[in-house]
Amino acid sequence: MTCDDHQQMISEFLDGELATSSERDLFAHISGCTSCREFMRSSIRTREYLAREEAPRVPASLDARITRLAGERIAVRPRVRRRILDLLKERVSVPVPALLLSSIVLALSLAVGGFLFATRESGRGATAQYIMSLPEVEVRGILPENHNQVH
Amino acid sequence: MRAATDEMLLERLRKGERDAFRDLYERYKGRLYAYCFRLLRNEQDAEDAVHDTFVKLYTGVDSLIHAGAFRMWLYRIARNESFMILRRSRGRSQVDPDECWDDSTPLQTLVENDTADLVRRCLGMLKTEYRDVLLLREYENLSYAEIAEVSGATVDAVKARIFKARKALAERLRGLFGERERP
């Protein structure tokens, strides 16, 4: 491992992100390496100085803008409208097996329904064709009196 | 009386309570403003970034499903707003992964006796992407996983970026914090 690798480990160690198992190797290397020791010292001192720094003051103009924002936004978002939007965004959780079962049942229903519908339609077509091909006399014999009105 | 949690405030905000919005603002404004200010190094830009972040909070509160991740979500929005401002002002968005320093502000031009200020200014001179991860780590105290969540990078990329930033800082501060340093 190079010094760069060890210095990356130092960086992780300082952030509490280095695996405990690697710490022993790291400190064994540091004890004999001036460059890595210097990097560690510099990183620690940098952190100390940054920790002492005061946070910048939030400007009053930002507070004022946020106050205005809250007033404006609430005015344009009436409760009823928001509730409808909430309802549209409502999420429900469905167990995967139940979802699969429902999908299969739906698919089967569609397939069976479609098949039955197609069979019925083709049956009707065949019957109508047969009736139309019959001679006039025979048609009168089997069709109801108001057959002409129907057609 | 125990302070309301973020989750409770968000729930109240969803119901349209403006006080909850103000409470969330009061809770996070200091941290977000400091983060944006240190990243952008400009008061007006930082103010705009924080303002736009809270606009997004208000308009996007319904889409925030996991209230537990609220803090990270807020930092992510603030970060995106800050980067957008930087892109607008500089017209650049990419960084050479091996280039840590912004050449437009070399350390040599600094005439600074105060060590704390020197450290802060050196940090401010790091390129944005490096400064960003170091700010989130050193000031905001976020873990690598949290920084990865905020920045949309992998944990390994965050590790590497933080190391490079520290290495670059150590190089510039060499001599100041060296072995022969006197307290």
- Interchain pair B179, A47: CB under 8 A: no
Q: Measured between beta carbons, which residues in chain A are less than 8 angstroms from residue B166? A: 11, 39, 43, 46
Find, among B14, B141, B165, the residue nearest to B71 by Cα: B141
* CB burial of residue A64 (10 Å; 0-12, 13-18, 19+): exposed
DSSP SS3 for A125: helix
Residue B77, pLDDT score: 92
What average pLDDT score do residues B8-12 get?
A: 87
Contact flag A41-B181 (C-beta cutoff 8 Å): yes
Chain B residues lying within 8 Å of A86, measured CB to CB:
14, 62
Q: What is the DSSP secondary-structure string of A6-46?
A: HHHHHHHHHTT-S-HHHHHHHHHHHTT-HHHHHHHHHHHHH
A41: tokens are 């010292």
Contact B163 A11 (CB under 8 A): yes
Measured between beta carbons, which residues in chain B are less than 8 angstroms from residue A52?
116
Task: List pLDDT tens digits, range B20-52.
Answer: 889 999 999 999 999 999 999 889 999 999 999
Here the ipTM equals: 0.74
Closest residue in B to A3 (Cα) is B167
CB atoms within 10 A of CB B77: 21
Confidence band (pLDDT; 50, 70, 90) for B109?
very low
Kindly state the tokens that stand for A25. 């190797």
* Chain A nearest C-alpha distance from B127 (Å): 17
Burial tier of B50 (Cβ tally within 10 Å: 0-12, 13-18, 19+): buried
Q: What is the mean pLDDT of chain B?
A: 82
Task: Give tens-digit pLDDT for B76-105.
Answer: 999 999 999 988 876 544 445 556 666 555
- Among residues B143, B139, B137, B119, which one has the least CA distance to residue A46? B119
**Cut 0.80: pTM above it:** no
Residue of B nearest to A73 (CA): B58
Per-residue pLDDT for B106 more than 90?
A: no
Alpha-carbon distances, residue A17 vs B1, B135, B153, B169 (angstroms)? 36, 17, 17, 20
- Inter-chain contact A55–B55, Cβ cutoff 8 Å? no
Assess whether pLDDT exceeds 90 at residue B166.
yes
pLDDT computed for residue A50 by the predictor: 87
Q: Do A11 and B166 touch (CB under 8 A)?
A: yes
For the residues A60-85, what does the mean pLDDT come to? Answer: 70
